[in-house]
Amino acid sequence: MGKAWYWARGRTRTVGLLVLALAVLPGCNVPRSHLATFNQSYELGDVPGAQQYAENRVKPESPPAGDNLLWALQLGVTKRMLGDFAQSNEWFDRAEEMMKHYDTGFKGLDVVGTTLVNETVLPYRGAEYDGIMVNTYKALNFMSLGQDDLARVEFNRALERQMRARERFHAEIQKLQDKMASDRNSGKVDYTQTMENPDLQTRLDAQYPGRNDFQAYPDFVNPFSTYLAGVFFTMIADPAKAVDLLKESAGMLPDNRTVAQDFERVRQWLDKGTAPEPAVWVIYEGGLGPIKEEFRIDLPLFLATQKVYYAGIALPKLSPRGPAVEPLEVDSSPTGTRTELVADMDRVVHTEFAKDFPGILMRAVVSAAAKAVAQNALLQQRETGAKLMGAMMAVYSAATTTADVRIWTSLPKQFQVARVPLPADGKLRVRAGGQTLEIPIPGGRYVLVHIRMISGACQPVWQVIARGELAAPPATPAAEPADTVASPSKDP
């Protein structure tokens, strides 16, 4: 009676898993196919089409679930590129709310869901660099809207995120190690031997060569966010705040002359009390950031018995898109210059991904172990149909072994910068991708021109932000001193 009841209970549980397998098999990895469709439009420069597709993917769920965070991030970028800064910030606000929800109130499902299926059953919760870029883009949007007090808040949030990220990462690693130690299959699977197995490492190296061959940035720091904050505080005449940020940026970017000169100018401003000369900063977002692709390997699990039909893992790997971004040629008579690298998003993403990869591998091994142990238990049964159920369990295992390749794909490949004097004729000429842009420069002591160019085959888009007032001719009695900076154009 007891043995029959055990078999019935086991069969019921297995049938449930197989029903789930039938649901999984047709779509295999739905998030991957959705991202591919969005990317196809975005890479061709069809930003309205990409935006519409992203809007169709957002689901009205509360609390947030699925891929809503990912699509909110994509919509924040596409709305911004189309010049709708207020709507862009509304989507970035929603993204921040979801990130906060996942940080503080999302527990439990990560253990059950990823073990029985895979990580794609979980909501997309975002990376640390996602949050940093959300606050950075929101700050740029507020600058375009003339709301400098709110831009200041967003820059401060971006900088604070960078400081908190390191502590959060170490906490996540400890949580994963504790999970493996307490896993119910730890007596049947030698996780340490599996993870450190030379054959597994060789297969990883073969499938994902050069995964550690990159120059990392300091822990979770995005040099662009730090530098842009320094430029912002320069433009609104807060040199005491700007000098520390530009000093940090110059330390991270020792080969960037523009950043070094910005720091020196602000340092002298503090020492001598004379504001830097009027200027235009050209911030260039070029190319496309990396995507994630899936690769599979057979897993040498160290089980009490090796009697399983299938044991494998699927892992994500970063794949760069496109060649290096060509600098822009910026003319401002009588001088001209080229943009220089401030931040490489491939490096920013890879820095964090390299730290996350051991945890991703751990979770994949735990999931594969659970499925292999279930197969093994069924295949050792002598009852009629047990071996067939074991074979079907192997089909389920193969069907649900898939990698989480979700990633914010509308980010650029690189951020570059150039600084030139204000053009005498009020027009900034920029050569980009075989075409020349003629950008009107409004009156202002300091001007920021932000250019986004997806590829050389796509039309660039740009925004112009001016702050401060130029000195009036000496004959004008009411002229303000040259170093006076006007108030923001809109009250907070």
State residue 461's pLDDT score: 95
Quick one: DSSP state of residue 189? Answer: B
CB-side neighbour CA atoms (13 Å) of 156: 7
State residue 410's pLDDT score: 98
Tell me the β-bridge partners of 465.
448
Whether 404 contacts 315, CB under 8 Å: no
State residue 174's pLDDT score: 64
DSSP-derived 3-state class of residue 298: strand
The CA-atom distances, in angstroms, between 32 and each of 173, 239, 341, 351, 407 are 26, 46, 31, 22, 10
DSSP-derived 3-state class of residue 201: helix
Round to whole Å and give the CA distance between 166 and 160. Answer: 11
Residue 432 identity (one-letter amino acid):
A
pLDDT in tens, the chain (492 residues): 444 333 334 444 544 544 444 444 444 567 889 999 999 999 999 999 999 999 999 987 666 667 999 999 999 999 999 999 999 999 999 999 999 988 775 544 454 445 555 677 788 999 999 999 999 999 999 999 999 999 999 999 999 998 887 677 666 666 666 665 665 555 556 666 667 778 788 888 888 887 878 788 887 889 999 999 999 999 999 999 999 999 999 999 999 999 999 999 999 999 999 999 999 999 999 999 999 999 988 765 554 445 666 677 889 999 999 888 999 999 876 667 999 999 999 999 999 999 889 888 888 888 777 777 776 666 666 666 666 666 666 666 666 778 899 999 999 999 999 999 999 899 999 998 788 999 999 989 999 999 999 998 899 999 999 999 875 444 433 333 333 333 333 333
**Helix 223-235 vs helix 128-144: angle between axes, to the nearest 10 degrees?**
20
Whether 371 contacts 229, CB under 8 Å: no
Domain limits for position 271: 24-417
Domain-embedded: residue 249: yes
Whether 7 contacts 381, CB under 8 Å: yes
Ordered DSSP codes for 222-235? -HHHHHHHHHHHHH
Domain-embedded: residue 474: no
State residue 193's pLDDT score: 67
Whether 163 contacts 131, CB under 8 Å: no
Domain-embedded: residue 232: yes
Q: In sequence order, what are the residues at sequence separation of 6 or more whose Cβ sits closer than 8 angstroms to the Cβ of residue 143?
A: 151, 232, 448, 465
Whole-model pTM over 0.85: no
Closest Cα to residue 106, out of 122, 88, 83? 122
Round to whole Å and give the CA distance between 178 and 191. Answer: 12
Q: In CATH, what number is assigned to the domain containing residue 156?
A: 1.25.40.10
Domain-embedded: residue 150: yes
Whether 423 contacts 297, CB under 8 Å: no
**Could you tell me how far CA 299 lies from the centroid of its own chain?**
29
Domain-embedded: residue 433: no
Domain-embedded: residue 422: no
Element (H, E) at 469: none
Q: In sequence order, what are the residues at sequence separation of 6 or more whose Cβ sits closer than 8 angstroms to the Cβ of residue 168?
A: 128
Tell me the two tokens of residue 446: 């300091």
State residue 204's pLDDT score: 87
Round to whole Å and give the CA distance between 330 and 338. Answer: 6
Round to whole Å and give the CA distance between 301 and 307. Answer: 11
Ordered DSSP codes for 336-373? EEE-EEEEEHHHHHHHHHHHHHHHHHHHHHHHHHHHHH
Reduced DSSP (H G I as helix, E B as strand, rest coil) percent helix, strand, coil of the chain, to 5: 50, 15, 35
Round to whole Å and give the CA distance between 12 and 23. Answer: 17
Domain-embedded: residue 48: yes
State residue 281's pLDDT score: 98
Quick one: DSSP state of residue 123? Answer: P
Cβ-in-10-Å burial (0-12, 13-18, 19+) of 377 comes to middle
Tell me the β-bridge partners of 74.
none
Round to whole Å and give the CA distance between 227 and 416. Answer: 11
Whether 416 contacts 342, CB under 8 Å: yes
Domain-embedded: residue 163: yes
Q: Tell me whether the omega of the peptide bond preceding residue 334 falls within 30 degrees of 0, making it cis.
A: yes
Residue with tokens 């609390």: 63
Whether 432 contacts 444, CB under 8 Å: no
Whether 126 contacts 133, CB under 8 Å: no
Tell me the two tokens of residue 209: 């060569």
Element (H, E) at 92: helix 85-105
Cβ-in-10-Å burial (0-12, 13-18, 19+) of 214 comes to middle
DSSP-derived 3-state class of residue 178: helix
Round to whole Å and give the CA distance between 339 and 457. Answer: 19
Taking residue 270's Cβ as centre, other Cβ atoms within 10 Å add up to: 11
The CA-atom distances, in angstroms, between 323 and each of 295, 369, 414 are 23, 39, 11
Number of domains in the chain: 1
Region class of 440: left (phi > 0), else alpha (psi between -120 and 50), else beta: beta
